[in-house]
């Protein structure tokens, strides 16, 4: 039973959250690029870039995490 007069926005729902002012995609991209270059230049650059990539991915994922409150009230 389709409603012929329905609009797309009537049942669209939330599609996700976009952060237009986040700087985290830049270090993720630079770290991934450095890691790719490390495969060409040397393993040492790959390891350094892997560490930077892990840190930047964690930063991007947890950017909007709320800190856990230590008080119980």
Distance, in Å, from the CA atom of 5 to the CA atom of 22, rounded to the nearest integer, reads 39
pLDDT of residue 54: 98
Please indicate, yes or no, if residue 47 is contained in any of the structural domains. yes
Please indicate, yes or no, if residue 70 is contained in any of the structural domains. no
pLDDT of residue 72: 59
Determine the average pLDDT of the residues in 29-44.
97
pTM: 0.69
The domain total for the chain is 1
Please indicate, yes or no, if residue 46 is contained in any of the structural domains. yes
Distance, in Å, from the CA atom of 57 to the CA atom of 28, rounded to the nearest integer, reads 6
Please indicate, yes or no, if residue 67 is contained in any of the structural domains. no
Please indicate, yes or no, if residue 5 is contained in any of the structural domains. no
Predicted confidence (pLDDT) at residue 15 exceeds the cutoff of 80: no
């Amino acid at each position: 039973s389709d409603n012929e007069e329905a609009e797309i926005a009537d049942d669209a729902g939330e599609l996700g959250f976009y952060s237009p002012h986040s700087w985290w995609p830049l270090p993720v991209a630079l770290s991934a690029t450095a890691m790719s270059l490390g495969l060409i230049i040397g393993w040492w650059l790959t390891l350094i870039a892997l560490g930077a990539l892990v840190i930047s991915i964690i930063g991007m994922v947890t950017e909007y995490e709320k800190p856990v409150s230590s008080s119980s009230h």
